[in-house]
Amino acid sequence: MLGSLGTRRLRKQGFAGAARVEASRASQPAGTARDIRWIGPAHGLGSATSQTVSLHFTKMHGLGNDFVVIDARSRPFVTDPVQIRLMGDRHRGIGFDQLLTIHRVEGHGCHWGYAIWNSDGSKAEQCGNGARCVAAWLARAGLIDYRIPHLLQAPRECIEVLVHGRGDVELQLQEPTFGSAGTDCHLADEGGRSAIEVGGSTLVATLVATGNPHAVVLVNDVDAPDLRRIGPLLTNHSGFARGINAGFVQLRDRSHVVLRVHERGAGWTAACGSGAAAAVAALRIEGRVDADVEVALPGGTLHVSWPGPGHALRQRGPAAFVFEGDWPDRETP
């Protein structure tokens, strides 16, 4: 039965356990791809077959926003949307919100970069929780230093990461931009805000780009049942050329908000780092929150800081290792 799931070996490990494992195999950084022969039961009792397993992965998460991380430094990951969807399937595959690949880059002061695919096989431009996991992966592998800022090349921008310690990562994102231009929106907006007809209601959304596009809607209650219906409708609204990440934010006070995000390509998520950044930026530009805000998501809390226009936005939160495994690159005869 294990073969039908596609995952041949899983090694449970917490952060401390992971460090001990990696220390014992210093010659092989975490996530390095390698070929392994797997022997398992075949069609009949007592017979056996072999399966080449060659795609090594690390399962990680940031506040429940979960990822599969693949080392593509020496062996490029061949993009196959069908395989990505199969790997992302939570019943027949590994299960994840996004798949992240790490590769070497040169330029802009960056040595490492990453690419992002959603669980439906589509490509994404930014992922705050994913960026923190990439930074934690690189630090654990000894490729970047703890407590020293490093630059990473995201799909559309260069960002700064600072790994304070195991499981504690801070990001510096570029200054957010507002309005329809940065979000590929065909709808009219005024000062970055747009009235959008969705499911028989009119939503007033602030359009924000934080490396990827977001529509942030201020609501009285993020747990209102109707939002479960409205979220997917807003994400797939025809006014957005490539869809939109729909964020619904509830204001508690000037330094605390609650957020729920329906991500394009992944659906409702336990946490969304770029969405938290977009929500704070949207509220900050309207003078509703202070420069430092705690954003409560279903999976936990992120800390976001933005002084305002002319400044970069910073975000700090956890990045956790879950397990490692190997995914077969072809079916057994």
Question: Hey, which residues are catalytic here?
Answer: 127, 272
Q: How far apart are CA 278 and CA 276, in angstroms?
A: 5
Give the residue carrying structure tokens 């069908």: 82
Ordered alpha helix ranges (H), 54-122: 81-88
Task: Return the structure tokens found at 200.
Answer: 């028989």
Ordered alpha helix ranges (H), the chain: 2-5, 15-23, 81-88, 128-140, 226-235, 273-285
Q: How far apart are CA 49 and CA 292, in angstroms?
A: 57
Three-state secondary-structure class, residue 26: coil
Express the helix, strand and coil content of the chain in percent, nearest 5 each.
20, 45, 40
Main-chain dihedrals φ then ψ at residue 330, nearest 5 degrees = -160, 160
Q: How far apart are CA 259 and CA 247, in angstroms?
A: 7
Rg (CA), the chain: 21
Ordered alpha helix ranges (H), 141-248: 226-235
